[in-house]
Amino acid sequence: MDEVATLCNDVSLAVADSIKDLVGTQKGSEVVGMGADGTPSKFIDIAAEDAALEILASSGIDMKIVTEEKGHLTFGDAPEFTVVLDPLDGTYNATRDVPFYSVSIAIGDVNLTDIRYAEVYNLANGTNFTAAKNKGAFYNNKKIHVSHAAELDEFTVASYGYKDKSDVFKRLGRHVRRLRSFGSAALELSFVASGRLDAFVDLRSRLRIMDVAAGILIVKEAGGIVTDGHGQAPSGELNVTNRVDIVASNGMLHPVLEKTADVV
């Protein structure tokens, strides 16, 4: 596991270096193509992904990779694991120099349910969140735990809504203390894990596996609960086009939160 942890952190550091002069620039925000996930790729996304892939390739380890821009890649004949990579989660923020964007890397096999190692690296301040299955979650190597808030009217919740899915703000807003939308799901999930937020709710069916694979393990290892909004563990093949719904929380009121956020 140490080898995997070092590899993930090396990827994060390389991405940080590759984008530092592109943050908040016109060049960084130029659309240069279409990503494998079906969304436009900006110059800064490609720079981040190229830097990440260079580190993964130079490790010499056989692996599969699922990544936002290039899609599915395989290095070698006998892949030891699958890397689920979002080289830059929070692209909009990075292009506008809003300091909330991250690298998200998860190590698994075939399904979102079998992720065994995760790192979310906060590119805006060089801190990181990590987790290994059954071994806990960490912020800069210090163990973290979800919050202890036990009343919905004390909760601070990061949430997303859009067009016909924007009612979630109204539904949650009636019951929780604060609503936020910071712009990097990977980092917001990590904030739930570390108790900075009490919950994260995104029921737009727009999140990709790459946005959440690492964050889900980090929340669970910090003692939180993550579901698909209907009581089930988020699942799905480690696939570039899959979309998921996520409710993550400190676990205190999870079913109540799911019910409050849902239309039905």
Contacts with ligand IPD, residue ranges (CB under 6 A): 86, 88-92, 160, 183-185, 206-207, 211
Cβ closest to ligand IPD, residue 133 vs residue 206 = 206
Which of residues 89 and 258 has its CB atom nearest to ligand IPD in the complex? 89
When asked if residue 86 is in the footprint of Ca ion (CB under 5 A), the reply is: yes
Q: How far is the CB of 185 from Ca ion (least distance, A)?
A: 10
Say what the alpha-carbon torsion angle 19, 20, 26, 29 is, to the nearest 10 degrees.
30
Residues 141-180 that bind Ca ion (CB under 5 A): none
Contact 85, 68 (CB under 8 A): yes
Q: Is 88 in the site for Ca ion (CB under 5 A)?
A: yes
Which of ligand IPD, Ca ion, none does 119 bind, CB closer than 5 to 8 A by kind? Answer: none
Structure tokens at 107: 């190590």
Structure tokens at 202: 């995104």
- Residue 12-51 contact track with Ca ion, rule CB under 5 A, x = bound: ----------------------------------------
Closer CB to ligand IPD, 87 or 195, in the complex? 87
- H/E run at residue 257: helix 254-261
Residue 206 partner contact from Ca ion, ligand IPD, none using kind-dependent CB cut-offs of 5 to 8 Å: ligand IPD
| Residue 35 CB, nearest approach to Ca ion (Å) | 8
User: What is the C-alpha to C-alpha distance for residues 224 and 214, in angstroms, rounded to an integer?
Assistant: 14
Segment contacting Ca ion (CB under 5 A): 35-43, 62-70, 148-156, 240-248? Answer: 62-70
Is 73 or 179 the residue whose CB approaches Ca ion more closely? 73
Q: How many residues does the chain have?
A: 264
Q: Decide which of ligand IPD, Ca ion, none touches 184; Cβ closer than 5 to 8 Å per partner kind.
A: ligand IPD
What does the alpha-carbon distance between residue 161 and residue 166 come to, in Å, rounded to a whole number? 4
- CA dist 79 and 61 (Å) reads 8
Residue 211 binding: pick among Ca ion, ligand IPD, none (C-beta 5-8 Å cut-off by kind)? ligand IPD
Instruction: Report yes or no: 248 and 200 within 8 Å, Cβ to Cβ.
Output: yes
Candidates 87-95, 177-185, 201-209, 220-228 — which segment interacts with Ca ion by CB under 5 A? Answer: 87-95
Strand duo 178-180 + 156-160: pairing: parallel
DSSP states of 38-104: SSEEEHHHHHHHHHHHHHHHHT---EEEEETTTEEEEESSS---EEEEEEEE-HHHHHHT-S--EEE
Six token digits for residue 15: 């991405």
Kindly list the residues in this chain that would bind Ca ion in the complex (CB under 5 A): 68, 86, 88-89
